Structure 1
Amino acid sequence: MKNTQASTAASRGPADHEVRNQIVAAATEHFSLYGYEKTTVSDLAKAIGFSKAYIYKFFESKQAIGEMICANCLLEIENDVRAAVDEAEGAPEKLRRMFKTIVKSSLRLFFQDRKLYEIAASAAGERWAATVAYEQRIQGLLRDILQQGRLNGDFERKTPLDETAKAIYLVLHPYLHPLILQYNFDNTEEAPAHLSSLVLRSLAP
C-alpha cells in the first residue's frame, strides 16, 4: 500500500502531495498498530507531530484518510489482476487468471494485517467511493475479456454481454468483498479453479 494515488474526492486543501503522502503513510502505520475504528484524527495528529487543524487542511475526515489507504490497497489488487490477465493468451485463460489472482491478492492484502482489514471492512460495508470505483473497474475488465472471447469465437454470443458480465461478477463477489471473504477461507485454494471452470463451461458457444 505504498502507492498513494487515490481519488481527489478523498482529500482537500493544498496540492502538496508530499505532505499528504506523509500523513497517509503515518496513518497506515498507526491504524495497523491500534486499529481504524479506535483511532481518532487527534490520535493521528499526535503520532505524526502535526496539529489536528493542519491535517484537516489536507483531509476532511478520518474516513477520507482511510479511503485513500483503501484505494491504494485496492489498486494493488487491481494491478495484480491486470498483470495476470495481460500475461495470459486467449480469453478463457485470462478469465481463469482473473479468478485465481483476485482471490490470491485479496487474501494477501486484506488479511496480512488484521488491523488494516478494519479499513477494508468499513469501506465495503459503507460503500465508500473507492470500493465502488474498484468494483466498476473490475467489472469493466471482465466485460473486456468476455468481448474478446466472443470476437474470437471462444464464448457464446446470444446472452446480452452486460447480463453475462453481471452474472460472472456475482460468482466472484464472495471473493472480492472483505466482509464475505473472511467466511470463505476454507474454499480459497480450490474455489478459483472450480468456479472459473464452471463459468467457462457456461460460456461455451
Structure 2
Amino acid sequence: MEIGTTVKNQPQTGYFSSIIEAGTAACRLYGLSKTNVVDIARLLGKSPASVYKIFPSKAAIWDAVAGNFFETDLCLTPSAGGELTSAASRLKETALGQHRLMLRALHGDSQMFDLIVLAAEGNWPSFRDHLKRLQAYVGELVATGIATEEFAPRNVDTAAACFCASIISLWDPRIIGALPVNHSELSAHELASFAVAALRPSSPGEESMAAE
C-alpha cells in the first residue's frame, strides 16, 4: 500500500481530526481489511467525496490514523519524579515501558495493532516518525547520563541510535506480534539492562581487553 503524504486543505483542522477519529472507530468496528472510505464517511455523516477533499487516498487516512495511535496510545509518559532517578534507570524504564504499551495494544486492541504492524511493514511516515521520537528521547537521556558521568562520553546521536537498534525487538510491532504466547518479560528486562550497561564507562581491564 502506497502512502500519500499530502493532505489537502489542511487548515480544516477540525474535520481532519474528525476523519482520524472516524477512521480509528471504523478500524476497530470492521477491521482493517474490511474498512473503506465509505464506512468512514458514514460514521461522519458525510460523503466520501468530502473525505477525499482532505485526504488524497485511503492509504493516507490509514497513515494518519496510525500516526495518531502512535502519538496517543503508544506514547510513553515519563513517571512523576523521574528527574530524581538516574538516567540509566529512566532509560531502562523507557525501553520496558514502551514494550508494555506495545503488548497492551497487541492483547487489548488487536485491530489497531494490525494497523501499526502494516505501518511498520510499509515503513510508513507514521512509523518512521514514531521511531524518531523514541530515539530523540533516548538521546536526551543519554546526554543526561553523560553529563552526570553515568555514561561514558561519546557521540549522543550515535549512542542513541545504537541503543534503539539493540532493543528494537521490544518496540517493533512486527516482532512483538510474532512472540510466543508464553513470552516472559524477564527477557525484556535482561535485554534492556544489557543495552544500558553498554553505555556505562568501561573499567581499565575492559578497555585493555577491547584494545587487544
TM over 0.5: yes
The alpha-carbon distance between structure 1 residues 165 and 85, as it changes in their structure 2 partners (threshold 3 A), is: farther
Task: Determine the structure 1 residue equivalent to 2:111.
Answer: 115
Question: Could you tell me how far apart the structure 2 residues matched to 1:187 and 1:156 are?
Answer: 33
Correspondence 1:165 to 2:160:
yes
**Counterparts of 1:85 and 1:195, CA distance in 2:** 24
TM-score when normalising by structure 2: 0.81
* Residue equivalent to 1:132: 128
State how many pairs are aligned: 195
- Deviation string 1:103-154 (CA, Å, 9 cap, x unpaired) is 1112223442222222111111111111111111111111111111111111
Match of 1:143 in 2: 139
Partners of 2:63 and 2:90 lie apart in 1 by 30
Q: Is the 8 A contact 2:167 2:192 kept in 1?
A: no
2:189 to 176, 190, 193: 193
Task: Give per-residue Cα distances to partners, 1:154-193, cap 9 Å, x unaligned.
Answer: 1122x54333322211122112111111123544522332
Consecutive unaligned residues in structure 2, runs of 5 or more: 202-212
- What's the RMSD between the two structures over aligned residues? 2.3
Q: Tell me the residue number matched to 1:103.
A: 99
| Partner amino acid, structure 1, of 2:19 | I
Segments of 4+ moved more than 4 angstroms: none
Q: Which runs of 5+ in 1 are unaligned?
A: 1-8
CA distance in 2, matches of 1:102, 1:84: 12
> Is 2:30 the partner of 1:20?
no
Q: CA offset at residue 47 of structure 1?
A: 4.0
Relative distance call for 1:163 and 1:17 in structure 2 (3 A) is closer
Query: SS where residue 188 of structure 2 aligns?
Result: helix
TM normalised by structure 1 equals 0.83
- Residue type matched to 1:199 in 2? A
The one-letter code of the counterpart of 2:58 is K
Residues 123 and 27 of structure 1: is their aligned pair in 2 closer, same or farther, counting only changes over 3 Å? same
Which protein has the larger Cα radius of gyration, Structure 1 or Structure 2? Answer: 2
What's the offset of the Cα at 1:15?
2.2
Deviation at 1:85, TM superposition (A): 8.5
Query: Which of the pair is proportionally richer in helix?
Result: 1
1:75-94 to 2 correspondences below 5 Å: 75-76=71-72, 79-81=75-77, 83-84=78-79, 87-88=82-83, 89-94=85-90
1:203 aligns with 2:199: yes
SS of the residue 2:55 aligns to = coil
- Identity score, percent: 22
**Conserved? CA contact 1:96–1:192, under 8 Å:** no
Select which of 44, 54, 59 maps to 2:50.
54
**Aligned match of 1:180 in 146, 154, 175?**
175
Letter in 1 for 2:64: M
